Amino acid sequence: MAHIEPSIPGRERQRVGEPHADGTVAFHVPEYHFCPRCGTRLVPRPEHEAEGGAIRPTCPKCGFVAYYNPVPAVGAVILLDGQVLLVRRAYAPKKDQWSLPAGFMEYGERQMDALAREVREETALVIHSGYLLSVEDASDDPRAHALLIAFLVDDWEGAPRPGDDASEVRWWPLDRPPADMAWRNHARVLARTREVLGG
């Protein structure tokens, strides 16, 4: 039987087992030593009885299991006349480098609500809607293995000004972003934007 590979315009095929796009193969893994529920020291135990199950820090008293999962983040691609709005980071990590308006989601937040909050905090813009653009591993963040959910935002209002953890906001040509982008996955998102828009 022939295998037919469908092609989706503007989308890159991802294959199982491929290395991370930025070449990073190891992520910073947090280490928990005590149970957040009862304070008992965690011990390494297999998650399941089956052979080959993952070894996870587990509380022998209450059964809490520490899962080290990726942390979801959202980022906005905001365009105006062929330019993209970027923010200069005011704090470490990556202080003084440029990034998309972006940040970590809060527990219980919807993606677009988290995006609207982050954009408002960093740029003072109010966004109303956008399109899912890309989902990218953020493997160069020393704080966590983040998973960036990037949106192309086309419905926004206001005048950008820096706030929260941004020291500056600036419009950059989409085809000539700054060389000192803070995160490699943000640079990939901009490349994806150019591809989707045919630029």
Active site residues: 168
Give the separation between CA 199 and CA 182, rounded to whole angstroms.
23
Q: Are 60 and 43 contacting, i.e. CB atoms less than 8 angstroms apart?
A: yes
Give the separation between CA 178 and CA 97, rounded to whole angstroms.
9
Label the pairing between strands 71-80 and 146-157.
parallel
Q: Are 39 and 78 contacting, i.e. CB atoms less than 8 angstroms apart?
A: no
Sequence-separated (6 or more) residues with CB below 8 Å from residue 22: 137, 139, 140, 184, 185, 188
Q: Are 122 and 87 contacting, i.e. CB atoms less than 8 angstroms apart?
A: yes
Beta bridge partners of 84: 79, 172
CA distances from 49 to 45, 55, 67, 94, 192 (A): 10, 11, 17, 42, 43
Task: Locate 33 and state its tokens.
Answer: 């030593």
